[in-house]
Amino acid sequence: MLKRFHSVLFVLVVCAGCSEFRDSHELLHSVLWMQTSAEYHTITTVTYQRAAETLDLALRDKTWTAALEQAGHFQDLPPAVILDLDETVLDNGPFEGRLVKDRTTFNVSKWDQWIREANAQALPGAVEFITEARSKGITVFFVANRQARHESWTRKNLEQLGIPLPAAIDTVLLQGEEPHHWGLDKSSRRRYVADRYRVLLIIGDDLGDFLPGARDVPDNRLRQAQQQRNRWGVSWFLLPNPIYGSWEASLYPDGLSDADILKAKRNLVREMP
């Protein structure tokens, strides 16, 4: 999430047929859809229900693994699932709503403040899925790109949602954690889990939650996703996130100004089939 880039503070759009200007934030519709729509609530609930229904099948089939990083003789390893956190388990809609209402963009200090509040609610279906997985003896790992400095507040947030964390092992694997120096790409963390557990399912909201190279250009990202078509909805479960992610970062190079980011995005909009 820290690598994402939002564009302009707000956009002034000329009304069709009038001379007035309309004040609008780039994320307004996406935030409203995730916060208010029955469609989003239904998608997340059903996705988690489907994932829970798959657990027994995955447990029985000793050759089953969701991790591309799983190798060697993994059949008798203890079972685990890997979940992302932000917009997968934790709903950061109120934080995004602040950006919209303040007509501002993402920045690290505001994000740090939000995390320290440890008050994010759970996405529909997330707590129920985690409870179901644990009841079957499955260890739940959270692989997120929050920074290592965020771990104590993240743990507090999860526990307040009724997701207690085991004391014997670290199941919250964040970016930059010592001694592994994990980076933005999650492959090394998935491999860390896969070396110790048979990974039954992966659940996330971003292509990078499942495979490497998620920041590639859009055509290559689509090609990568299609190459793994047999995994989607089977051992990989994807939640929608129209607000931010590697999909957005793939649209333009790093280091652009807000104005140039918006220009690059507008140039990608299709007007004709």
Looking at residue 218, its pLDDT comes to 94
CB–CB of 211/68 below 8 Å?
yes
Q: Burial level of 263, CB count in 10 A (0-12/13-18/19+)? A: middle
Give bridge partners of residue 90 from the DSSP assignment: 86, 122
Residue at 246 is within a domain? yes
CB–CB of 63/192 below 8 Å?
no
Residue at 66 is within a domain? yes
Beta strand pairing call for 21-24 and 11-14: antiparallel
Give bridge partners of residue 91 from the DSSP assignment: 121
Residue at 180 is within a domain? yes
pLDDT tens sequence across 31-87? 999 999 999 999 999 999 999 999 999 999 999 999 999 999 999 999 999 999 999
Q: Alpha-carbon distance 137 to 187, whole Å?
A: 24
Number of domains present in the structure of the chain: 1
Residue at 4 is within a domain? no
Phi, psi at residue 99, to the nearest 5°? Answer: -60, -40
* Domain housing 67: 11-250
Q: Alpha-carbon distance 113 to 54, whole Å?
A: 37
Residue at 256 is within a domain? no
Q: Alpha-carbon distance 108 to 218, whole Å?
A: 26
Give this prediction's pTM: 0.91
CB–CB of 67/194 below 8 Å?
yes
CB–CB of 146/86 below 8 Å?
yes
- Residue 9 reports pLDDT greater than 90: no
Q: List the one residue out of 162, 210, 168, 272 whose CA is nearest residue 65.
A: 210
Looking at residue 23, its pLDDT comes to 83
Residue 105 banded pLDDT, cuts 50, 70, 90: confident
Q: Which residue has the higher pLDDT, 16 or 70?
A: 70
Instruction: Give mean pLDDT, residues 4-10.
Output: 40
Residue at 214 is within a domain? yes
Angle 79-132-140 from CA coordinates, rounded to 5°? 40
Looking at residue 233, its pLDDT comes to 97
For helices 38-60 and 126-135, the axis angle rounded to 10 degrees is 10
CATH of the domain at 86: 3.40.50.1000
Phi, psi at residue 179, to the nearest 5°? Answer: -90, 10
CB–CB of 174/154 below 8 Å?
yes
Residue at 271 is within a domain? no
Residue type, 144: A
Average pLDDT of the residues of the chain: 92
- Residue 156 reports pLDDT greater than 90: yes
- Percentage above 90 pLDDT, the chain: 82
Looking at residue 15, its pLDDT comes to 43
Residue at 264 is within a domain? no
Q: Alpha-carbon distance 34 to 135, whole Å?
A: 29
The H-or-E segment that residue 127 falls in is helix 126-135
Instruction: Give mean pLDDT, residues 173-180.
Output: 94
Both tokens of residue 194? Answer: 């896969």
